[in-house]
Amino acid sequence: MERVIIHVDMDAFYAAVEQRDNPLYRGQPVIVGGTVEQRGVVSTASYEARKYGVHSAMSMYEAHRRCPQGIYLPVDMEKYRAVSQEIMTIFQQYTPEVEAISLDEAFLDVTGSCKLFGGAENIGHQIKNEIKKKLQLTASVGIAYNKFLAKLASDLDKPDGFCVLTPNDLAAKVWPLPIGKMMGVGSKTEEQLKAMHIKTIGQLAQVDLALLERLLGKAGRQMGEMARGIDLREVEPVREHKSVGRETTFPKDIQQSQLLETVLFELTDDVCYTLRSQKLKGKTVTLKIKYADFKVVTRAVTMDKYTANFEMVFAQIKQLLQQHYREGMPVRLIGITVSHLKAEDEIVEQTSLFEDNKQEEKHQKLDAVLDKLNAKYGKESVIRARKLEWEQE
């Protein structure tokens, strides 16, 4: 039986949630990521803001230069997570085979659900309608026989899009697309391919796979196969929590360690908050970097004790970045994972009068106070002093 994969991608998710919740923001250029004074990056820009050239991963300074009249808002991760959970609940009504890629997108394998719900297209329309009716948000849906084409389809008709790609659509709809639309093709890889006179997906599909592997490694062969409509990757649902991680893909490569550290600051804060909210602690911290050439580097460190403390985890991830990232190398994705998890009540900790333990106790108390205040008044109602230092620089 031919697989049927649906990719659902929410439209400008963070900004759309803010526009939904505040009528004054609707129809306005909304940029989520912080205030204009922050030395941070844009998390999401509404479609109104994108008309001014503002996009994810752009520095807040550059975003404000391009769109000074924009509405700049801090990231309210707790709110977005809650909405995301409602979206995932809708997906689960149609199939248990749901692979969440991030808070705002997921793959669904509906191969076994089509007869029950009247076909993949009917499922796709029902999902869009439910999201619109229950959450007042729009989603773009792509349907195909593999993950690569389903994700590509969801991007072809944004926003509020609906697109189906079949094997017969390769030549007419996929091959004429620019090579930059290929999964895994960052700016550096795009330059390499264009130097080989490969400007479209169709031209890539004609290149010998062995040659692509010699030039670009295994990722080159994978891109060549995808261009031919071949992608054997399965939808992989997360069955249990063995780790907690966050990562972000940049629409344009980032080459400054300073910006990467800023992104990791936000991701680490969110990971640690998630651990504490689930009463978990972890011992291993992993940094993931995907470069423009699609090469992925992961580096991990195991700490002496279990923790969900932001300061301890961020110190480790920052050190990993300093040790393993070379300034100027273009990065398309960065992420952090905390693993080797245990429930808080399963961990036996020895008390000590050493200074470092006293310092850790101070950090834990700070985390508890921040969690309590942010739970009551909203995420980012109170922020860490280090973030204020970044804003003032």
- The residues annotated with a catalytic role in the active site are 105
Q: How far is Cα 91 from Cα 323, in angstroms, rounded to an integer? A: 40
Q: Which residue from 19, 21, 14 is spatially nearest to 77, judged by alpha carbons?
A: 14
Assigned token pair, 195: 């130097």
Q: How far is Cα 114 from Cα 98, in angstroms, rounded to an integer? A: 15
Q: How far is Cα 193 from Cα 202, in angstroms, rounded to an integer? A: 12
Burial (0-12, 13-18, 19+ Cβ within 10 Å), 337:
buried
Query: What are the backbone angles phi and psi of residue 79, rounded to the nearest 5°?
Result: -65, -45
Q: Is 112 left (phi over 0), alpha (psi -120 to 50) or beta?
A: alpha
Assigned token pair, 102: 């991030």
Assigned token pair, 108: 């669904």
Number of DSSP helices (H) and strands (E) in the chain, helices first: 15, 13
- 31 close to 63: Cβ distance less than 8 angstroms: yes
Q: How many C-beta neighbours within 10 Å does residue 20 have?
A: 14
Q: How far is Cα 369 from Cα 146, in angstroms, rounded to an integer? A: 46
How would you list the strands of the sheet with 71-73, edge to edge? Answer: 44-45, 30-32, 71-73
